[in-house]
Amino acid sequence: MEKHSVAADIKSILHEQIDLIDNIYKLQKAMYQGVLDRDWQESERNLSFLNEASIKFSDLDKRLYGLLQADEDKPQEFNFYMHTKQFTSSDKKKIDSLYEKLKEKVFYSKIENDVFSNYVSHAQALVKGVVDIISEERNGKCYTAAGKRVNTEITSLVLNEVL
């Protein structure tokens, strides 16, 4: 395949990935907001779209690695800039610029993902603490709504209050 054609394909893939990561970032923010608003259906829908976008991004990555003739199983050994040296200086400059833009957007997406993960972890710890306190106050005894004693292991809890 001609180097100029390969460079054009690489630029096209990088543009697609940049557009896709922008969409992923928006979906991450929408999913986070859905969780904050307790809109579980919207959060599930956004999660489904995120999974689809993630698969598409991975497929584009595989195509990119293939065009650069890189070993995608060894990403720690991959140097993008070494692989773009084969192109003309104008193509290399444009490809490297697109790659930098993509890396920056992926970085922001990772930050958003970390923020969301930390929020979920904190919420889980809070709920676990509440359940532990409730369990201790009952001296390990749990009862049904009818007053019948049941297994002391609390596997679920229904609250009629918003935390």
Q: What is the DSSP string of 65-106?
A: HHHTT--TT-GGG--HHHHGGGS-HHHHHHHHHHHHHHHHHH
User: Is 34 a member of any domain?
Assistant: yes
User: Is 67 a member of any domain?
Assistant: yes
More confident residue, 29 or 129: 29
User: Is 143 a member of any domain?
Assistant: no
The tokens for 160 are 């009629």
Task: In whole angstroms, give the CA distance from residue 46 to residue 36.
Answer: 14
User: Is 88 a member of any domain?
Assistant: yes
The tokens for 54 are 């993630």
Average pLDDT over residues 26-42: 91
pLDDT tens, 45-78? Answer: 999 999 999 999 999 999 998 888 765 566 556 7
User: Is 158 a member of any domain?
Assistant: no
pTM of the complete model = 0.74
Task: In whole angstroms, give the CA distance from residue 92 to residue 90.
Answer: 5
Domain of 32 in residue numbering reads as 3-123
Q: How far apart are the first and last CA of the chain?
A: 60
Q: How confident is the model at residue 91 (pLDDT cuts 50, 70, 90)?
A: very high
| Weakest-pLDDT range from 75-79, 116-120, 159-163 | 159-163
How would you class 125 by CB atoms within 10 Å of its CB: exposed for 0-12, middle for 13-18, buried for 19 or more? exposed
Total tally of structural domains belonging to the chain: 1
Q: How confident is the model at residue 123 (pLDDT cuts 50, 70, 90)?
A: confident
User: Is 79 a member of any domain?
Assistant: yes
Q: What are phi and psi of 142, to 5 degrees?
A: -125, 145
User: Is 145 a member of any domain?
Assistant: no
More confident residue, 163 or 63: 63
Closest by CA to 84, choosing from 97, 95, 72, 73, is 95
76 DSSP 8-state letter: G
Under a CB-based contact definition with an 8 Å cutoff, are residues 64 and 15 in contact?
no
Average pLDDT over residues 116-124: 88
User: What pLDDT does 140 receive?
Assistant: 59
User: What pLDDT does 156 receive?
Assistant: 67
Task: In whole angstroms, give the CA distance from residue 138 to residue 10.
Answer: 63
User: Is 152 a member of any domain?
Assistant: no
pLDDT tens, 124-158? Answer: 888 788 777 766 665 656 677 787 877 666 666 66
